[in-house]
């Protein structure tokens, strides 16, 4: 068991695409592709799924049990409280990776980059968000667990609790942080999207996963860009 803890937030109540976490692609729920990718980088014991108390999320809890992945159930709206309570119960963990469950082809390369950055004990917080360094659905957000636990009592805005990390972006000058960016030629944040929020995103995900033989963890980020480019030429 490592010092890392990976919290995957997932729920069935998306307003734009209800039930997306467990929608099937190639006979597997979309969430499963993310979990399988994470298992190529982290120990199973490091991974926790965080969902809400709503009954509709029972299917996520059942999935976690079938995979023998820890699953924490908490407040529907105060997502940050789920993280806080998980970290309080995992006191030996030093580094938190925040991952959204609507990311079926999250990239191993990015996770490894996060590990390398956070191996520097002076770095408290690493992210690709403020500088739009990786596509939505491959955002890197890594933070020292002590910093998160110490900061949580200072959360005082709705988006602090709903989106978990805004407090740290608002106060980033107070932390020893590292902003990372994609180095692939031709990359731009506006050009690519790897998360699934809409029906169109789901159709893109089906196409991409089929082209990756339903094993996205075996494909480099560059290849994923190329596959999405092909989709746009054929289907848009």
Q: Which residues pair with 99 in a beta bridge?
A: 8
The pTM for the full model equals: 0.96
- pLDDT above 70 (res 142): yes
Dist CA 10 CA 31 (whole Å)? 8
Q: State how far the Cα of 69 lies from the Cα of 53, in Å rounded to an integer.
A: 17
- What's the confidence (pLDDT) of residue 147? 97
Once rounded to an integer, what is the mean pLDDT over residues 47-70?
96
Taking residues 202-216, what's their average pLDDT?
97
| Backbone CA torsion sign across 181, 186, 188, 191 | negative
Number of structural domains in the chain: 1
Among 211, 215, 224, 236, which residue's Cα sits nearest to residue 39? 215
Q: Which of 51, 47, 69 is nearest to 60 (CA)?
A: 51
pLDDT at 235: 83
CA angle 161, 121, 37 (to 5 degrees): 60
Q: pLDDT over 90 for what percent of the chain? A: 93
60 pLDDT exceeds 70?
yes
- Domain containing residue 92: CATH number: 3.90.550.10
Find the helix or strand (DSSP H, E) in which 86 lies: helix 79-89
Predicted pLDDT of residue 78: 96
Q: What is the mean pLDDT of the chain?
A: 95
pLDDT at 223 over 70: yes
Judged against a pLDDT cut of 70, whether residue 8 lies above it is answered with: yes
In the prediction, which pLDDT does 1 show? 66
Q: Can you give the residue range of the structural domain that contains 78?
A: 4-235
- Residue 159 and residue 170: Cα distance in Å, rounded? 11
pLDDT digits (tens, 9 = 90+) for 105-119: 999 999 999 999 999
């Amino acid at each position: 068991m490592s010092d890392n803890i990976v919290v995957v937030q997932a729920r069935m109540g998306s307003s734009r695409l209800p039930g997306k976490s467990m929608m099937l692609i190639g006979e597997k729920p979309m969430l499963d592709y993310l979990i399988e990718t994470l298992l190529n980088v982290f120990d199973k014991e490091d991974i926790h799924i965080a969902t809400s108390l709503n009954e509709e999320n029972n299917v996520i809890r059942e999935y976690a049990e079938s995979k023998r992945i820890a699953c924490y159930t908490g407040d529907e709206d105060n997502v940050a409280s789920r993280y806080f309570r998980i970290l309080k119960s995992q006191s030996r963990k030093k580094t938190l990776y925040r991952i959204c469950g609507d990311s079926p082809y999250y990239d191993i390369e990015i996770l490894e980059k996060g590990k390398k950055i956070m191996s520097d004990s002076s770095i408290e917080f690493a992210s690709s968000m403020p500088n739009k360094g990786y596509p939505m659905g491959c955002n890197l957000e890594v933070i020292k667990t002590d910093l998160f636990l110490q900061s949580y009592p200072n959360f005082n805005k709705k988006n602090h609790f709903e989106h978990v990390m805004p407090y740290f972006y608002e106060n980033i000058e107070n932390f020893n942080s590292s902003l990372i960016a994609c180095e692939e030629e031709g990359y731009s944040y506006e050009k690519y999207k790897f998360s699934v929020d809409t029906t169109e995103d789901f159709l893109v995900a089906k196409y991409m996963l089929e082209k990756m033989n339903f094993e996205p963890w075996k494909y480099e980020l560059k290849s994923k860009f190329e596959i999405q480019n092909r989709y746009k030429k054929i289907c848009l």
